[in-house]
Structure 1
Amino acid sequence: MNVEPNPDVLKLLQNHRSIRKFRDQKISDPDLVNIITSAQAAPSSSHGQSYSIIGVTDPIRKKKLAEYAGSQPQVESCSHFLVFCADLYRLEKIALQQGVNMTAAIESTEMFMVATIDAALVAQNAAIAAEALGLGIVYTGGLRNHPYEVAQLLELPKRVYPVFGMCIGYPGEIPDQKPRLPLEAIYFENKYKRFEEVNKHLHQYDEIMRAYYLNRTHGIRSETWSETMTNKRKRPRRMNMKSFLSEQGFPLA
């Protein structure tokens, strides 16, 4: 079977930008069903579909999640806030119905990775579907700031954890698109390139990002991408995630 090329899909993918301001307009039920159905079409390891999606529309819960995520107002203002969860609870339960104890397998690092990757793939399908419908999205990793509180609020059982959230709604503004790393810095043929071979491309990208920040902040912000990443990542963050994951049924060795 031949698959016809669709340049519109490429344009859609390459036009992505994060939306943090939304109009006060709800997504229709048919559009939401299309988004979730498109998300389900994502590949998953061994067709296990080790994920669950919680759509949060209740204003009180959205307000609490916005606080847990670091006081992010878009969590409250978006039409729907989707929480993508890695989910091995369902697998454990269906195995028990068949008289099989899955504890050793489920508590492996591999199964943790399987469920996390499944959730991430599904989320990206949802993002693409939402943008194809004229909606905007932004991922929200800030849920991991307060994983215990999020799990309690959403009544997550053991073997389920929130990987991240996603705001979806009608854009209130369209920001400039952030430049991405050059291909030479992230795509290597046949073997990994040494840092020295890509460093010149990183220097060029740093200047592109410096100009981007200067323009976006009207001269207030002028750091490079390298400086931004180093400053953002140099301090350990969310160091309670390991203990949370262990208590939630993902004891990583």
Structure 2
Amino acid sequence: MTLLVSDDRRVRTLTLNRPEALNAFDEELYDATADALLDAGRDPGVAVVLLTGAGRAFSAGTDLVEMHRLATDPGLPRGKHGFIGLVDALADFPKPLVVAVNGLGVGIGTTILGFADLAFMAADARLKCPFTALGVAPEAASSYLFPALVGRQHAAWALLSSEWISAAEAQQMGLVLQVCDPEELMAVARRHAEVLAAKPISSLVAVKRTMTEPHRDAVRAARDRENAAFAELMGAPANLEALAAFAEGREPDFSALP
């Protein structure tokens, strides 16, 4: 199973479960996570979703091996929801979403924090938005959500530099609420989730709706702009050089590219 699901005290825990691939999202995991969020949103017995990863990573982002195949062979079948469907499920999720970043988070493993209502991070975890290193554009409405969450300059550095962000830096920026000892991460995240889950679901939903509704149109507009830019750049020379370099185990060379 690429996604583990468990329920306790009205908290549904979703655990990304591709540890051999550092929980990178392939089409199957995108679909499973989107379906799980849709199910949790409709389930009257679920008050809060807690999202984390199995093994030493939270998520290494999109599976670049599959991404390369999709970029070079447009005829390959896609998932039911895919990346865009997961982003829509996150944007529309009506209940509190708590994220526990247990290890490295790359790409969607970082930008998903824009949709978190509470986020906690292990002290030894790291984050990266590798978009410019892959020759592509931002994703998951991060071009809107990150400046709103951490301020323009922190967001610009995260989205433009493709540099690693430590747990301490993530907390200082405002990407996460609290940094925890790795052994205590899930206990801390779960304790906060259970505090929320003890409240009336109708009230939780109303509070979240009043916080997110003013931004709904802007999030969707950002998603559409990003998707258009991503589609234009995916498969272009810079992206193909980045993917080829990854497959060959070398650093990409963009020096001759615009």
Relative to the length of structure 1, the TM-score reads 0.30
- Of the two structures, which has the highest relative contact order with CA contacts closer than 8 Å and spacing of 6 or more? 1
From the two aligned structures, give the one with the greater strand fraction.
2
TM-score normalized by structure 2?
Answer: 0.30
Whichever of the two has the greater Rg, that structure is 1
